[in-house]
Amino acid sequence: MKKLLLLFAISLIFIGKLFSQSAPPNMPHYDKKIAHFGISFGYNQFYSNMIGKENPPYQDTIMGFDSDRNSGFQLMFVSDLRLLTWLNLRFTPGVTFGDRRLNFYEYRNDVFNVKSTSLEAIYVEIPLEFKVRSKRWRNMRPYLIGGGKYTYDLGSIKRKKANPEETMLKIDNSEFFYTLGAGVDFYLPYFKFGVEIKTSYSLTNILMPDFHTRYSDVLDKIRTQVFYINLTFE
């Protein structure tokens, strides 16, 4: 992840120098339009924050648990509405594909095992975000972004068909997130190209408490975190 962020920062600096030196500025009246439309796609990483109970059962068998960070991708449609000179409202519905792998470390019958379950995620996302923009500097314009979104996990349809005896735990298919991030828009001769990084934090406990196994019963909450690197074309 550190190498990926370093490469991202170096790329931004290089692209910024490349586009900021062009003269005259590209599309000088672009930001005077009320609305813009485009597409966005990129890379993501899913992480599940697993919170255990204060006095969990099975303390003699379940020794611990954690979650892997797994990669995926997403495709979004961008609708951008100018509210003020420095403030835009963005509606970017789309689909996000990812995977959540949860690991449980157990000691049973004098044998140490790692039991894992993979929960495929296919999110239909309905986000609404505010984009706070700085002053344009020739052909580039940094910005901050923040907002919220609702997601519905289509992967739950596949999980409902799984054998209950092989299911380690169940999770809800609906989540609410808040999102924070930053990016840079680059004004090209015929369109605007944007690069942004952001993170979404779930406000929802997706663990289903009515489904009981020795794995689910040691957990109190599961919250999702998703890290994004997106490219936008408007």
pLDDT tens for each residue of 39-92: 999 999 999 999 999 888 888 888 889 999 889 999 999 999 999 999 999 999
Contact status, residue 147 vs residue 166, Cβ threshold 8 Å: no
- Per DSSP, the residues of 167-232 read ----B-SEEEEEEEEEEEEEE-SSSEEEEEEEEEEE-S--B-TTS--TTGGGEEEEEEEEEEEEEE
Contact status, residue 41 vs residue 75, Cβ threshold 8 Å: yes
CATH assignment, 2-233: 2.40.160.20
Q: Which of 67-81, 141-155, 160-174 has the lowest mean pLDDT?
A: 160-174
Q: Decide: pTM greater than 0.95.
A: no
Contact status, residue 152 vs residue 174, Cβ threshold 8 Å: yes
Amino acid (1-letter code) at residue 75:
L
**Each residue of 203-213: pLDDT tens digit?**
999 998 888 88
CA-based nearest residue to 91, from 102, 80, 103, 104: 80
